[in-house]
Structure formats: structure tokens, C-alpha cells
Structure 1
Amino acid sequence: MSVNVSKAEAKNLFISAGCNRIVNNVSWGASDLVSFGAQNAVVIFCPKAAQILTTLPGHRAAVTCTHWLPSNKFAFKAKSLERHYLLSGDADGTLILWEFSVADTKWRHVLQLPQSHKKGVTCITAFMVSQRDAIFATSSSDGTVCIWDAELPTSSGGECKLTCLENLIVGSRPMVTLSLAQLPGNTGLIALAMGGLDNKIYLYCGERTGKFVRACEVKGHTDWIRSLDFSLPIFSGECDSILLVSSSQDKGIRIWKLTLRGSLADTEGTRRRGEISLASYIEGPVFVAGSFSYQISLESLLIGHEDWVYSVQWQSPSVVAEEEVGFYQPQSILSASMDKTMMIWQPERKTGIWMNVVTVGELSHCALGFYGGHWSPDACSILAHGFGGEFHMWKNIGVSSDNWQPQKVPSGHFAAVTDIGWASCGEYILSVSHDQTTRIFAPWHNQDPQSNGDSWHEIARPQVHGHDINCAAIIQGKGNHRFVSGADEKVARVFEAPLSFLKTLHHATSEQSSFPEDVQADVQVLGANMSALGLSQKPIYVNATHEVQDNPGNDGIDTVESVPDAVPIALTEPPIEDQLAWHTLWPESHKLYGHGNELFSLCCDHEGKLVASSCKAQSATVADIWLWQVGSWKAVGRLQSHSLTVTQMEFSQDDNLLLAVSRDRQFSVFKINRGMDEINYNLIERREAHKRIIWTCSWNPFGHEFATGSRDKTVKIWGVEKKTSSVKQLLTLPPFDSSVNALSWVGLVRQRNHGLLAVGMETGLLQIWSLHVERGDYSISTGSVTAAPIIRLDPFMCHVSAVNRLAWKKREKNENYTSLQLASCGADNCVRLYEITVDKPDNH
């Protein structure tokens, strides 16, 4: 008897990712989509839906820069565009051009630019000459700046013509910010401003065909230049001028004016008549470009930020701007600073003095601030990205006066996500990461009546820790929500859900959650506070909340060690970043001491009575697996079998067997006997199963068969005989293209012992296999396994680097198909959720 799955489909339900901690990483396009780099993925999110739409695979190093063609600055030129383009650069110097089709929301890898940079790309900027023609410049830490001409295709799938106009060598101090503009006066000349690791702004000028030469240096800042942005031409009286805004680590912002003085013939005449006064030279340098001369003068100096100003950006021109009458460039600048604020600056109507008119964010000395700020194309929203990989967005909802309010944005880990698990009743996903946080993602029920179904959001950040977190296990069984996590320390920590989380979860699911009301009544902890060193989370008790409010902490004395008191409350809508970071912590209830090295893997049995843990190990003496009793948290066993790190463990569905796999290429199967007062265990099999490290394992939910996956690119299926308790190999799947890093087996039809095996690889790709176990007389000795691949997920749906963990949740069954949810996490900072739909299998 074999089982045939006739139809299977996979679709993306949710993606979470944090932004790389790099300054020029984010771009808001005229398409009203935002791009950013998450490790080596290019991530696209929709600000209106507050959801990540897709990730683009192609880079082999961390993405450092993204830039839309056209960007928000040129939204008025993109009213009816069917296709938008995106440039992305990485830490290896690779540049890729992508095409986004508006009609079918499909992405296409257009081309990889010829290798022009030998080191990481630090900035990409572009000027749209027309809807189909752009000039863009790229800078790199190899000390070069390249200027390109791009002819974008007029038809879908058409060829894109790229020409390198110039390769400028700027010396040992690399440039970190660029801005391009057309010089005023219909001269057809292009200006390129660049700034970097000194305090000067360098201006280069050239024609559309290239030949860029250094025109002048602009001095004024006293520290490194961090951001430059040219305005579009402004028309003031008789002379045409453009403005350049610059920001620096000297905490200041300067506005410079470039004014056309006339053609060289005119200036020669004025010089002979002696009409050039000394004042015109004091104003700033005069430079010559082509047959024209220009004057640079300092228009204004803006002081207001208390830390480095990492980005400045002119407000996007109105979409109703017409090219014939010139661009209407709003006199409004957005700045973002390491002091964790963004400011909008505008000139006063009467005096023309530039003033700070809006400040958003919070002046903060306990957390690092913003790496960049961006206007939306319609200038109604502003977006910042920060040191913690997070986004902050504010929208102006005021009618007669400005009223900027925080908005929901996607959130996620900003380092590799190492482990993931489902809550016992499947209400949420919990993930842990090397970014030293634990996060909970859940579907928020019917948040928007127009949306189809629930949308997923991060609803809590239970643990914010001082070490990289490597593993976690959610305690199964009844009772309050609990989990154990293990980090780069020798201690495992146990956390228990506070009342504020239980109520938030109830709001999110809007149906009866798994915890009974009496448990809610028993929970006396409202939330948790962070300790000064960020290693232990102290409970805030329900009956002590009034004391916290009466005494705000430390008697008003602000010391380096003081941390703001958390204000845990039940959330009635998906939280924003500031709420997540401070007010959704869980209290730590126990520490589990015993391991000799950093924790590496954890698992819990299905009854919620035992937790197994392992640590990094170079010898057999520290490679023991420890067993802990849930509740008392006593160590009840030390299982010895391996000589190197145990990489993953899992209990069989009936909790009688514990499977462990290790870097020593062996697996072990232990029999667990549970008495009234004690746990007995014995090793029933240890075997060298693969030629390289075994990274992952998973049990068949319907029996004592299990799968192992290894760096040797193979997956093997094994069975434990009932009578003799010996292990027999049943099947080896055909070799995969790369190391197998994650496996998860889910049952479909118990009577036929049929299930699905999800396979995650080092390349980030995912496959789903259909597995059918046939037992002869209910003993494996005559049994067999049939396997067939049913889904190979599209690379655009997969991770872009190693898959670290996979976890199934069974969702629903009906007559014709079975729908399941598969969660995955990877080294690309992403947590992903897929819906896998398969037809009900038939017997053949």
C-alpha cells in the first residue's frame, strides 16, 4: 500500500525580520514600499499594511544599502509607472538591480552590476532624469565612487542598459554619503556631493556622458560628514539655485545654497568692471562647471540634536508638481539622530529663520538611537530605523495643525534566529535569537474589518538578555504559559507568563485562550522589570502596582544603573516598539545550574513534565544531557552518550524515548521510565549514522520512527523495533544540494501512518516530503517507508541563508484537504510562517 498526495500548495502567511544596523540600509520608494537589508536578504515591507511582503535572495554577504528607482524624492515622476526598480549593495561590493511589477506584485532579478567595488558598498543615490532614465552613484569603503547611467526598459522583461560613466578614486578615507542633482540654470550639468570620514564636503561636476571633475571643497563641519541631500531646483526671482543639506557627527545640520552666477563670458565682463566685492568670496567658494560659474554660500546652521545626526532628507515634492513649471520643493527637512529623536525643520514665514517645528521619539541616554529617517512619498508619514534593528513610524493625523502619532510597523530579530516553537495550543510562536531577545508572534484577530483573516504581529518580548540566546523550549501540558531558554552562559532560565500577557493574548485571539480563568486568578505577577545589568528580570506584583506609581524609582535620582520602570498593561491592539522593548517582559522564576559550558539545545516532553538540555562540548565530560523536572526544577538525570555537542533532542510522541543527535556524527536513543518519585533511563542505541555533523532530528508523531539530517546532505529514516528496542535504518532520501540543517515531521492520517517531513537546508531552501510508514505485523523488522517530494518552495518564499529550525502546527482538517502551518527561522534574521495545503491522500 502506498499513499499518493495529488496536490500540495505552500503560501506565505507572515514574515518577521529586523533591519541591519547600517546607516544607508533603508529606502522608501515612489512605489510606497520600503526596502531594507536583513542579513543577506533584501526585505520589502508595506507601511500601510505594517507587514513584510517578501524577501529577495541573491546577496552572499550582509546587505548594506538599498535605493529605489524612483525613490520618494521623485514620486511626482512616477504617477503611472508599471514597474519600479530597486538597487541593493552588500558588504562584498556586489550590486544587484531588481524589477518590481506593480500589476502582479512580482519581483525579478534583472542583473548583477559588473564588479566595480572591491569592498562593501556604503551608499547608493540616484537622480531620475526622466521616468526611464536615471543616473546613480555608488560609494564603497575601497575608496572609490562609481557613477552609472541606467536606461530602464519600456516593456516588461525588457533589457536594462547600464553604463559606467566614471570611476572616481577618492583616496584612503572612504565616502559614506552621496547626493546627486542637476545644477540649476538648464545647463545640463550634474553635481555630485560626497562626504565621509573627514569634515569636508567634496563637490564633483560633470556632464550626462561622464567626465566628472572635482569642483571644490566645502568646509564648515567639525566632524565626519554623515548625510547629504540636494533639494530639487527652487525658483527664486531671477537666479536659479539649489540647496544642499548636510549633517555631521558634530551634532549640527547645515544648509548650503548653490547659485548660478552666470556663464564664464558674463563673469569675465563683471570682473573687468571690478564689481566683484570681497563679500562674495567670504560667502563661500565659487566653482566653475562647464562654461558656467556657481557660488556656494551657507544658508543656515541648525542646532538642536544632542548626538550625532545620522541622516537628513528634504521633504518629497508634492505628487501634483509639474515639470513644466518647475518642481515645488517644500522647504522642510527631516533629521534623525543618535539621540533617538527625529526633527522636522522649516523656515519661519516672516523671518526665514529655520526652526525645529516637530520632534518625535524620546531623548534617550539608555539606548542607542536612530540610524536614518525617511519621508513617505506623500510626506504624511516619517520612518526611522534604529540600533536595535527596529522601525519607528509616525503619521500626521492632524487636520488644521500637525499631530504626529506612532504607527504599527513590522518588527523582528536583527541577528540570526536560532530556535522557534509553538505554544502548546498553537496560539503563538516563540523565537530566540543571537540579538539577545526572545519574541512572541501571534495572529491579531480581525484587527481590520477589510483585511482577509488575521494579521500576525509581535505581541511580546518576554526576555531581553545580556547574552546571545541559542535555544528555547516551551513547557507543554496544562497550566500557565512557561518557557525555558538557554544562552551563551552555563545557566538555563525559566520564565512564566505574567497577567498582562495573558490578557493581551486574550485580546489578540479574541476567543477563549488555553488558560482557564482560575489560572488567571492565581497569577499574581503583572509583569517584569529589567535589572540594571540586563541579566535578570524581576517580577512586578499585581498588588504592588500602586506602590510603583507612588514611588517612580530611585527617589528621582538618575544614575547610570537606573532603568525605567516597566508599566505592564493588557494591550488591546498590536504594540509598537517602545511598548515591546520595556513593558512586555516576563518574570524569571528559576535558574537551572549544572552545565559546564554555554547552553546549546533544549526540549520539553509532550506532557510538560521533563525538560532536557545540552551545552557546547569538546569532550565527553561536558557533553551530558541533563534532565530537569518541571515544577520543582530539580536535576533528575544526566544522560551520557556523546563526545561532542548535542545539537538537537526530541521526545517521542508517547514520551517513552528521547532522541539526541550530535556533532560527533552519532545519534542516541534513550528509554525513559517514569516512576512515582524518580526517573529511570537507559541507553538503548547509539550509532554513527552520517559522515558529517548531524544537525537535526524529528520523530514520526504516529510511531517510533525518526528522521536525522546532516551536513553530509542526506536525510535518513530510522525505526525502533518494539520487541528488541534495536534501531534499524529504513530509508535514505536522495541527496540534497546542501547541508540539511532542520527537520520537522507532522502527521496527516493516523490510520495510514502518513505524514509530511519539512526539510530546511543551509542555502535557506525548503522542501516538503510526503512519508508513509508501512509496518509489517506492527514490528519494524519487516516494515518500510515510502517517500516523495511534494513541494519545493520557490526561492523567493524561502530563507536566504541557513534554516536553523522548523516547527509544524496542525491547523484544521476537512473532507478534501488538510491545512497546516509551518514556522521556520534562519540565519537571515527572519521568522517565517507558511500555510501548507495538501489534498487528503488516497490509498493505492
Structure 2
Amino acid sequence: MDEDNTWIEYLSVGANRHTAVADWSQDGLVAFGADSNIALWRPHDSQPRGVTSLLSGHKDTVKAIKFLSRSEGEGEGAQHRTYLLSGADDHCLKIWSLSRDGVTECIQTLQEHTASVNCIATVYERKGRRRSDSSTATIFATGAADASIKIWAFDGREARVVQTINPKPKFFPLAIALSRLDESGEALVLAAAGTRDIVQIFVVESIANPEFQLQATLTGHEGWIRSLDFTWEKDNEGDGMGSDLLLASASQDKYIRLWRLHQGKELPAAVANGADPSLGAYLPGKSPSNKAHRLNTGGKDYTVTFEALLLGHDDWIYSAKWYTSTETGRLQLLSASADNTLAIWEADPSSGIWVTNVRLGEISREKGATTATGSTGGFWTGLWSPDGMSVTCLGRTGCWRVWNYNKDEDQWTPQIGISGHTRAVTGIAWAKNGDYLLSTGADQTTRLHASWKRDNNSTWHEMARPQIHGYDLNCIDSLGSSQFVSGADEKLMRVFDEPKAVAKLLGRLCGINDSSTAVDAMPDAANMPVLGLSNKAIEAIDDDAEISTSANPETDREALDPGTTVRKSALEIDHPPFEDSLSRHTLWPETEKLYGHGYEISCLAVSHAGDLIASACKASSVNHAVIRIFETRRWTEIKPPLTAHSLTATRLRFSPDDRYILSVGRDRQWAVFEREEQGVPKNGDEGDNTAPEDAAPSYKILQANPKGHTRMILDAAWAPSQPQVSFATAGRDKSVKLWRRGEGETEFACAATIAETHSVTAVDFHPRPDKDGRFVLAVGTEIGKISIHILDPRSLTAVSSFTLRAELCLAKPVLQLSWRPQTDSSELAVAGDDSSLRIYRISDDEK
């Protein structure tokens, strides 16, 4: 094993829910903010790999992403370079250089703003247009929560602020758009809006000396404005003269307004002729104003007039993006709304009325819930592909949905998108046979990840979402090939069984066949009742069953609710599930609840035999810091609980042979409990004449070390079975300690220490020694560094060590590490506080 032979097998991460959080470049690369990282994804790759890499550098949530293109040099030697601009809650603006070979580096970090950077705008350039200015600088703008807009000049090496605009009346910019004012001159126009119901228009005469002046304030919206976008109305093949500039503004008032910027003092023909500017589409009693706003710069006159009001969404509109076909000049507008729909608008050729000709989305499970009433659902942003043949949108779960346009069938078809946790990944667990990986997180979801195998290719995807909870989830472990248990910020644990739909899906796509349980005996699927936390088993319905379409369910009691039913055809798919199927069709039914703890569950572990569950909860006293053991045949607790700690236990681990239980905690101590040879009756009643073979095993304290580390212990792991028993503990004192009990010895003693530069937050031993019998230990720290140590099995000292490359490490603490069991390859799963789930393959040709 070495650093150079480590690569990414799988990256799963959800996007931050902000309108300006993503952009789609001309060469097909999508970049989006994921916690404090920037994720890179190519939706049109021949193999749907999902996120290919994560760029770390920001210290807080990334909110704004924008690609910037520059032509550097003149004549035939000119080079076209692509840069990426990113803004975040850390007040920083970063500029990244993207090379053709996929290498990305941050070339500049700027902190001119004093609050979160919310939006970024670059100059809209028509494809193929030759710039007539002699300036070598590229202009872009940023808007931030310090109520300012900054104008930047970028020369390809560094950017500098050339102007700061403080909007009056004061508002926080949520959306800005920048464009050339006409096709022949150097004048620029900047539109800005945000936490008011107005759009401000600024103009500047020349790029060489940018000094924007406010010249118009557009009114009409009745809520905050979330998105602005410019486009040219026509795409003339000639000099481009005569083309008007159109501005789309999307608002929380549920409407989109279109504005026309026309060169000359004369009004556009439709307005001059007295036609209703909304062309018949306006609210009753609220006829839109057709007041003409005058602009003047560089000796040229322009008018800004209201063009149209677009009605059709039922909730806040977060995003509106233009696309103009370079072949036909066809103009389309893509809007994303909190009403769970993505709409494509076009002007009717005969009447000119803007209508929705495509509507994509999903059935809302929360009837009557809107953003105004506290729902955080819907789509947060929508993007066009460079060729206009695909669209993608960001959903409330941090996922990306993708649709491709099929010319032959004239319809938009869904494609495989990507998904991931949107908050810290707090727990991971492989199936006992290593077939799939379970993850759970602070975003209150449990996800199942597996490898999709087809045509000699395999790629990892989220295959099921077994649990969608109402509490933050803290820990998880597998009970076998078709069952798991999870713990959350509640006082109980929940056990889930695999449904038939997921079992068949995993068998069909991943080659995972469950031999331990009869698939036909499983329930078809599960759903979660309204206001409930427990998934209930349900049977799939036939495709011809009647579905309720009534707005009032009381009048149609016999019909089925489309939001809580599953059709059999929806489960027979030949690809990884799309997001709407993941959240509705792949839930696992809950079969048991395990009670006993007094506070939130902090950690749990399942024995390798699957017959016992050990658990602990948050605690500040000895009475609550106990470890409770549950047996899985009758789901009862084995009493009395195990006592050792005085504060919260942070990790529990069963030894490979289940003979020992290791616990570590915030009280700086570790404890080892040994299995007693003689079991006790499972119901805990000493007078019960239960047969000995039906008795549950019990554990007793073997050794406790109250000074195991000088600060709290955060993780622990057992070494593979050897003649001597060994384990590792990881502490906030920046060390990993290796403990050993040799043959004939009664206690564990510290045999070696691995020093780290930061607090050690996660450790795990490879389940098998290497070919020389040496142990392989993975170590993760609070700064996201991951290192691999090869240990001598007798002395437990490190024979060799290496640290994963910087681009493979995390931006935030490593919360858990887990080697994949029962496979020939070495695959390491990593759970991060930066909301990322990773699987690294570490090549070892000699193993």
C-alpha cells in the first residue's frame, strides 16, 4: 500500500440549497457548492460516475459559483481559458484555474466583502462574438450580505476591486446580472435585486474605466427577488445590431417579470402601439405598469420597458435562466420553484404570449405546505446544458435531477442524477458481507450505496433511502444482509427490514442476492405516515388501480392517495432510482423499537454474529453513561446494563470473535468487557427455567483504564484476531494508542503510540492482515487528514506510514472510517463532517 496507489471509488455529497450555488460550463462541467467544498460533476459522461472531485479551500458554506471564460492573447495564438469563481459564508471570493487535463488550483483568495458572498455575475457574451475593446481585463461583479456590490477587473492572474456599490434604498443583494448593453460598444449594464421588491439598473460607459451609475429602478414585484438573468432576444448571424436585451426577474411573489432594454429613444413597437405589455397575462385588478425608463451612456439612449408577466407557479420562484439556440434563435426560459416544478417558457409565435410548454417535477407529499408556511421543499435552482438539450435542477434534499430532450419523441426524459447528505455524515456501516454501504447523517436520512454493475463497468450510486427521520441521526450498524439498526437524537433505537422492492433492485442491478431471507416473504415496500416517524410496510398496487385526483380526500375515500402509494411498475427499473423514487419507493419498514436510554443515543454496535446490539446515550452522570445490551431474537434488553463510564460513551466495538466489547468515552477512559461463559435467561428472570441453549450471553467488566488518554477518547477499533488481543484508541490528545494483552497476561497494556499533529477523530483496522501478517490501520483527524499505518503484529509499532494526497483529504473532521469486509480489494469508507461520503480504493497488488 502506498499513497500513489490510492484513488476515489465513490464520492457522494449533497448541494447547498442556494439559488446561485451552481453553474454549468461550456465544456460540460457542473460545479456546485457542497458544504464548504466545491463539487465537480459531468452529467454527460459516458458512465454516470457522479461527483468526480471536491475542491476544498473555503472555511464555511459555499453559496455562489460562476464560471468565467477569458481569451488570452491575440490572433491564432490566442488561448481560451476557463476560471471558476466561488463565494462563501467565510466572506471570501476564490478564483480557481481549470486546465484541460482536469487539474484545478486556487490562484487567488480575496476578502474584500465583510459578510457572506451571495451571488456572482459575469458579462454575458454571445457565442462567436469578437470583442472590440482593447482592454485585457474581464469584468465581473459580486453581491454580499454586507449590502454591497463589488465590481472586479480580472487580468488572468489576479482580480482587483474597481468599484463598490452600496444600493439605496439599502438591501442585501440576492441576485445580480451583468451584460454588454449593446453588441458594438463597450457599455455594460448591471441589474441588482434582493431583499426588496425592486430591480436596480446600473450602466457604465466603458470597460476600461468601470464606474457604474444607477439610472433606473424597476418596480412591480411584491416580494424579494431571487434571480436575474440577461439574454439577447435575437441571435443574428450578422453584426448583431437591432437585437434587444431581455431581463428576467424571478420573485418570491410567485411571478416572473420580463423587461426589455431597447436602444434608441423610441419605445419598442409593442409598447409604442399601446399594446398591453403583459399581453393578457396579469393579475386581476393589478395591471402592470408600462412606464418607460430612460438610460443614457456613451452618448447613446436606451429604454427599459416591462415586457411580460409569467404566471403559473404556486410558490416562491428561486431561479430563472435563459437559453437561446444559436441555430434557430429560439428563446426559452427555465424557471425553478418551491412548488416542486421546473418550467420551460416560450413566447407563442402567433400571439407573443409567454406560455409554459414543458413542466417537470414531482408529486408534492406535503399537501398544502408552501414556503410561506414553513416548508423548505421544491427546487432551488435550474441550469441549462451548453447545448440546451438537457436541464438539471437542485432539489430540497440536496440532490440533482437531470432531464434530456429526446428529439424523436419530442419529450423530456429523466436521467440518472446525483444525491448525497447535506449535513455531517455521522455514521457508516458496511453490510456484514460487504455488499453495500449504509450511511446516516445529521440531515435526518439513512442512505444505502451500492455498485451498479453492467457491461464490464461498475459505478457507485445511492440505491435506496431506507430511513427519512424527524431527528438528526447519530449512528448505524448492520444486523445482517437485510436488516440494520440506527440511533438518533431520541431515546430509542429503530430496527429496519429490507423490503422486496429493494432486494430485487439490488439483485438486478448490483448482483446482490440475499440467501438468508426469502425475498417473497418480504413486504413490497414501505411509506411514512403523515406526522409519523415510523415507516410502515405496504403492498404495491397494480398499475390500473384508481388513484385519487380529488382535492378533498373526504369526498373520495375509496381512491388511493398518489403521495403514499407505490405502483408495481415503479419498482421494476433497470437503473439506479431517481430522486423521487428514492424518497418514496425505497423506504424500509420499521420492525422494532429498542427502549431503555434516558437521553439521545450517542453510539451503538452490532456483534459480528448479529445476535447482540450494544448502545449508549449522551450522559453527564454514571447512571446514564451505562451500556445497554439487547438480544435480537426477542428484542429484549439483557440486564443489568454495563457500567464503567461517567460521561458520554463515544464508541462501542465488538471484538472480531465477539468475546469482548470495547467502549471509550468523553471521560478519557476505555473499558473492556468480557463475555461470560454461562449465559443468563433472556428475560432476565433468574427463576425462569429457560433452556441453556436459549440463554443470551452476558458481559462483565474485564478492565477499565481511567487514564487511557489525557483528553477525551473519540474512537476505538479492534485489530484482526491474533494469538494476542489488540486494539487502538484515538484521542483528542493528538495520539493513537495501541493496546495489547499477550498470552498469559491478564490486562491490556499500551504497546505503542502514534503521534498526530491534531486531534484524532476516527480509526479502523483493516479486517485482514496483509500478506506478511502486518496490521493495516487507517487514522483520521479533525483537520480531515487521513493516514495509513502498517503495524508489526507483535510490537504494534508502525513499520511504514503514508498520508493520503491533499486532494483526497477532507475539509473538516473525519467522523468515521470503515474498511470494507469480506472482499479481496482494500476499500476504505470515509464519513466526513463536511457532508461528504467517500470510498477510496487503496491498491495492494501483493495482497
In which range does the TM-score fall when normalised by the shorter chain?
0.7 to 0.9
The alpha carbon displacement at 1:645 in A equals: 0.7
Separation in 1 of the partners of 2:543 and 2:29? 46
Q: Which amino acid aligns with 2:11?
A: I
- Note the 1:40-51 alignment, pairs <5 A: 40-49=36-45, 50=48, 51=50
The residue matched to 2:844 in structure 1 has which SS? strand
The higher-RCO structure (CA 8 Å, 6+ apart) is 1
The alpha carbon displacement at 1:82 in A equals: 6.3
Q: Which amino acid aligns with 1:787?
A: A
Determine the structure 1 residue equivalent to 2:758.
738
- Note the 1:764-775 alignment, pairs <5 A: 764-774=784-794
Instruction: Indicate if the aligned counterparts of 2:124 and 2:231 stay in contact, CA closer than 8 A.
Output: no
Instruction: Indicate if the aligned counterparts of 1:69 and 1:128 stay in contact, CA closer than 8 A.
Output: no
Q: Which amino acid aligns with 1:702?
A: S
The residue matched to 1:470 in structure 2 has which SS? strand
Determine the structure 2 residue equivalent to 1:180.
178
Determine the structure 2 residue equivalent to 1:798.
809
Q: 1:605 aligns with which of 601, 604, 607?
A: 607
Cα distance change of structure 1 residues 762 and 549 upon mapping to structure 2, 3 Å threshold: farther
Indicate the RMSD between aligned Cα atoms, in angstroms: 2.9
Separation in 2 of the partners of 1:42 and 1:824? 18
Q: Which runs of 5+ in 2 are unaligned?
A: 278-288, 367-374, 680-692
- Note the 1:329-728 alignment, pairs <5 A: 330-362=330-362, 364=364, 366=366, 368-399=377-408, 402-446=410-454, 449=455, 453-476=457-480, 481-510=482-511, 513-516=513-516, 519-521=518-520, 523-541=521-539, 545=541, 549=545, 556=556, 564-567=564-567, 569-637=571-639, 638-673=641-676, 675=679, 676=693, 677-687=695-705, 688-703=707-722, 704-728=725-749
Q: Give deviations 1:813-843, integer Å, cap 9, x for gaps.
A: 5xxxxx31111111111110010112538xx
- Note the 1:280-291 alignment, pairs <5 A: 283-291=291-299
Q: Give deviations 1:567-595, integer Å, cap 9, x for gaps.
A: 46244311100000000011101000100
The residue matched to 1:135 in structure 2 has which SS? strand
Instruction: Indicate if the aligned counterparts of 1:600 and 1:615 stay in contact, CA closer than 8 A.
Output: yes
The alpha carbon displacement at 1:711 in A equals: 1.3
The answer to whether residue 21 in structure 2 is matched with residue 25 in structure 1 is yes
Instruction: Indicate if the aligned counterparts of 1:24 and 1:122 stay in contact, CA closer than 8 A.
Output: yes
Determine the structure 2 residue equivalent to 1:832.
838
Q: 1:247 aligns with which of 243, 247, 250?
A: 250
Moved more, 646-655 or 178-187: 178-187
Moved more, 725-734 or 282-291: 282-291
Q: Which runs of 5+ in 1 are unaligned?
A: 72-76, 153-159, 271-275, 321-327, 775-783, 814-818
Q: Percent identity?
A: 34
Separation in 1 of the partners of 2:469 and 2:445? 6
Q: 1:729 aligns with which of 750, 755, 767?
A: 750
The residue matched to 2:487 in structure 1 has which SS? strand
Separation in 2 of the partners of 1:81 and 1:673? 74
The residue matched to 1:332 in structure 2 has which SS? strand
The residue matched to 2:583 in structure 1 has which SS? helix
The answer to whether residue 144 in structure 2 is matched with residue 123 in structure 1 is no
Separation in 2 of the partners of 1:670 and 1:811? 26
The alpha carbon displacement at 1:720 in A equals: 2.4
Cα distance change of structure 1 residues 800 and 317 upon mapping to structure 2, 3 Å threshold: farther
The residue matched to 1:621 in structure 2 has which SS? coil
Separation in 2 of the partners of 1:747 and 1:278? 79
Separation in 2 of the partners of 1:581 and 1:227? 28
The alpha carbon displacement at 1:290 in A equals: 3.2
Instruction: Indicate if the aligned counterparts of 1:201 and 1:218 stay in contact, CA closer than 8 A.
Output: yes
More strand by proportion, 1 or 2? 1
The residue matched to 1:180 in structure 2 has which SS? strand
The residue matched to 1:181 in structure 2 has which SS? strand
With normalisation by structure 1, the TM-score equals 0.87
Cα distance change of structure 1 residues 443 and 183 upon mapping to structure 2, 3 Å threshold: same
Determine the structure 1 residue equivalent to 2:31.
35
Determine the structure 2 residue equivalent to 1:68.
67
Separation in 2 of the partners of 1:376 and 1:7? 36
The residue matched to 2:417 in structure 1 has which SS? coil
Cα distance change of structure 1 residues 238 and 739 upon mapping to structure 2, 3 Å threshold: closer
The alpha carbon displacement at 1:52 in A equals: 0.6
Instruction: Indicate if the aligned counterparts of 2:524 and 2:539 stay in contact, CA closer than 8 A.
Output: yes
The residue matched to 1:364 in structure 2 has which SS? coil
Determine the structure 1 residue equivalent to 2:371.
none
Instruction: Indicate if the aligned counterparts of 1:8 and 1:791 stay in contact, CA closer than 8 A.
Output: no
Q: Give deviations 1:188-236, integer Å, cap 9, x for gaps.
A: 1111000111111001111312111111101121211111101136378
The alpha carbon displacement at 1:788 in A equals: 3.9
Q: Give deviations 1:139-172, integer Å, cap 9, x for gaps.
A: 00111111112222xxxxxxx1322121111254
Cα distance change of structure 1 residues 350 and 636 upon mapping to structure 2, 3 Å threshold: same
Separation in 2 of the partners of 1:346 and 1:541? 42
Q: Give deviations 1:434-493, integer Å, cap 9, x for gaps.
A: 1111000000111xx3xx6311111100111111110011014xxx51100001100100
The residue matched to 2:350 in structure 1 has which SS? coil
Cα distance change of structure 1 residues 82 and 515 upon mapping to structure 2, 3 Å threshold: farther
Moved more, 722-731 or 245-254: 722-731
The answer to whether residue 307 in structure 2 is matched with residue 299 in structure 1 is yes
Instruction: Indicate if the aligned counterparts of 1:21 and 1:387 stay in contact, CA closer than 8 A.
Output: yes
The alpha carbon displacement at 1:626 in A equals: 0.5
Cα distance change of structure 1 residues 285 and 333 upon mapping to structure 2, 3 Å threshold: same
Instruction: Indicate if the aligned counterparts of 2:2 and 2:802 stay in contact, CA closer than 8 A.
Output: no
Determine the structure 2 residue equivalent to 1:256.
259
**How many residues matched?**
776
Separation in 2 of the partners of 1:47 and 1:133? 31
Determine the structure 1 residue equivalent to 2:690.
none
Q: 1:108 aligns with which of 101, 105, 110?
A: 105
Q: Which amino acid aligns with 1:304?
A: G
With normalisation by structure 2, the TM-score equals 0.87
Separation in 2 of the partners of 1:47 and 1:27? 12
Separation in 1 of the partners of 2:235 and 2:415? 36
Instruction: Indicate if the aligned counterparts of 2:232 and 2:244 stay in contact, CA closer than 8 A.
Output: no
The residue matched to 1:504 in structure 2 has which SS? helix
Q: Give deviations 1:384-407, integer Å, cap 9, x for gaps.
A: 1022111111110132x6300111
Separation in 2 of the partners of 1:515 and 1:235? 61
The alpha carbon displacement at 1:348 in A equals: 1.5
Separation in 2 of the partners of 1:555 and 1:343? 31
Cα distance change of structure 1 residues 316 and 757 upon mapping to structure 2, 3 Å threshold: farther
Separation in 2 of the partners of 1:176 and 1:16? 28
Separation in 2 of the partners of 1:7 and 1:177? 43
Separation in 1 of the partners of 2:30 and 2:243? 33
The residue matched to 1:580 in structure 2 has which SS? helix
Q: Which amino acid aligns with 1:658?
A: I
The alpha carbon displacement at 1:753 in A equals: 3.7
Separation in 1 of the partners of 2:107 and 2:788? 29
Instruction: Indicate if the aligned counterparts of 1:747 and 1:754 stay in contact, CA closer than 8 A.
Output: no
Instruction: Indicate if the aligned counterparts of 2:31 and 2:40 stay in contact, CA closer than 8 A.
Output: yes
